[in-house]
Amino acid sequence: MHSDTHDQELQSDADALRAHMVERQLRRRGISSPAVLDAMREVPREVFVPSAEQDRAYDDCALPLPHGQTISQPYMVARCVELAALRDSDVVLEVGLGSGYQAAVMSRLCAQVVGVEIIADLAAGAQRALSTLGYDNVRVRVGDGSVGYRPFAPYDAIVVAAGAPRVPDELIEQLKVGGRLVIPVGDETQILSVITRTASGTVTRDYDACVYVPLRGAAGRHDA
């Protein structure tokens, strides 16, 4: 009985921290989509954070993952998901699944997420976390996501969770007409860009400066 009470207290604390994060880190900084705010309030970030970082799960920063990777700052997750403008029926590709947290958030907003991760150990951890929560509309794949993932293409949206030296043509080709590619482009620092595929080409809009780990793979940085 004591254990149950303790678990309930921990859950209550996490819920309060999550609600505080949504208000202070997201809403106050201009994240305005009710659906995105609800998803960020719902998904327990602590499930995706390494055990050594559990007490920092809702800090306003990126946190380290194994293999030199990171779980993105909550604000950047919310910003990317909001810019992706997801709809209930969308099928979304995430390049750089990492911990699985961003895929989990997107899964609350769309029909299916395909998460591709080049590091098998991270993909396995993400799958465990997603399965723990019963988020069964995320398909986890190990592979080089920098060139997309053709079996489920074309996509309504593609979200890249690593800094790309250029916009990979392969990702544009795997978007539906009207589809959105959200991608940080640059070397040491990046600009978060949204590229919309049109019937005649693409339209690019640049947003925030940001810092992500380098995109690995054929269309990424080869020294990453």
Given a contact cutoff of 8 angstroms between Cβ atoms, the answer to whether 166 and 99 are in contact is no
Helix (H, G, I), strand (E, B) or coil at 58: coil
Catalytic one of 12, 32, 72, 200: 72
Return all residues near 65 (Cβ < 8 A) that are at least 6 apart.
50, 71, 98, 99, 122
Structure tokens that stand for 121 in this block: 């150990």
Please say if 200 is a catalytic residue.
Answer: no
- C-alpha span between 41 and 35 (Å, rounded): 10
Q: Is 48 helix (H, G, I), strand (E, B) or coil?
A: coil
How far is it, in rounded angstroms, from Cα 203 to Cα 121? 36
Tell me, what DSSP letter sits at residue 23? I
Residue carrying structure tokens 């070397």: 187
List Cβ neighbours of 131 (8 Å cut-off, separation of 6 or more).
none
Q: State the Cα–Cα distance between residues 205 and 182, nearest whole angstrom.
A: 10
Active-site annotation, residues: 72
